[in-house]
A and B are shown apart, each in its own frame.
Chain A
Amino acid sequence: SQQGEEDPQALSIQEGENATMNCSYKTSINNLQWYRQNSGRGLVHLILIRSNEREKHSGRLRVTLDTSKKSSSLLITASRAADTASYFCATVLPGSSNTGKLIFGQGTTLQVKP
């Protein structure tokens, strides 16, 4: 079964609004990563947050991690049409750090309307 579950599955907003998507996972983790996938393209790494971190920023991206709730959220502020894409969370399970294996969620499809 999938380790990560994103919520919502789809999100549609207007340009300039903020977009929040959530990821829940089932087991303890070493770190959690977020990736973006534009239609028909490969995935691109956005940000990594380690299990001992609670919040991390990168440009217009803000990621939080709550290990007690086994959940993470990705906030995109002041969204742009170019942010239209699918967003995936991915986790590294304890014991997998020497193999680099990532387990991906099913993704949130974000549409930003101009």
Chain B
Amino acid sequence: NAGVTQTPKFRVLKTGQSMTLLCAQDMNHEYMYWYRQDPGMGLRLIHYSVGEGTTAKGEVPDGYNVSRLKKQNFLLGLESAAPSQTSVYFCASSRTQRDTGELFFGEGSRLTVL
């Protein structure tokens, strides 16, 4: 099993460009999450999904959109990239519904917006 796979791993954008980060998990997990990690800020939750076809906002959702059309995939979109969105983005998934268990993380996608 590959676990959680993120693509692309690196990307450089110009201000105003758009892009989509893809997260795929092969563990049949219900829950999926997008976090961003910035120096000194830890990880902050952008959006999350508790099942196929559902999404919800996290702590820092502005400037991002997400979609969960298939259970195994969770897409994070930037419609008009800004330098403040330069960050490392992590996707994660988890299994349990009754009580929160561990998150399984991808290796990250490093995005630079010039």
Q: Do A and B bind each other?
A: yes
- Among B14-22, B61-69, B76-84, B95-103, the stretch in contact with A: B95-103
Interface residues of A in 1-26 (CB under 8 A from B): 2, 4
B43 interface residue (CB < 8 Å to A): yes
- A91 → chain B closest CB, angstroms: 10
Kindly state the separation between the CA atoms of A101 and B32 in the bound complex, as whole angstroms. 9
Q: Which A residues are in CB contact (< 8 Å) with B108?
A: 40-42
Structural contact, B99 and A31, CB atoms closer than 8 A: yes
Contact A106 B48 (CB under 8 A): no
Q: Is B74 located at the chain interface by the 8 A CB criterion? A: no
Contacts of A74-114 to chain B: CB distance below 8 A: 88, 90, 92, 96-107
Q: Which of under 10, 10 to 19, 20 to 34, or 35 or more describes the interface residues of B? A: 20 to 34
In the assembled complex, how far is the CB of residue A87 from the closest CB belonging to chain B, in whole angstroms?
Answer: 11
Contact call B103/A43, Cβ cutoff below 8 A? yes
Among residues 34 to 83 in chain B, which have CB atoms less than 8 Å away from a CB atom of chain A?
Answer: 35, 40-45, 48, 50, 56, 58-59
Q: Which residues of B contact A102 (CB under 8 A)?
A: 33, 45, 100, 103
Q: What is the CA–CA distance of A30 and B101 in the complex, to the nearest angstrom?
A: 11
Q: A83 vs B31: C-alpha distance in the bound complex, in angstroms?
A: 29
Q: Cβ of A100 and Cβ of B106 under 8 Å apart?
A: no
Closest to B110 in A: A40
Asked whether any CB of chain B lies closer than 8 Å to the CB of A73, the reply is: no
Enumerate chain B interface residues (CB-CB to A < 8 A): 4, 31, 33, 35, 40-45, 48, 50, 56, 58-59, 90, 92, 94, 96-108
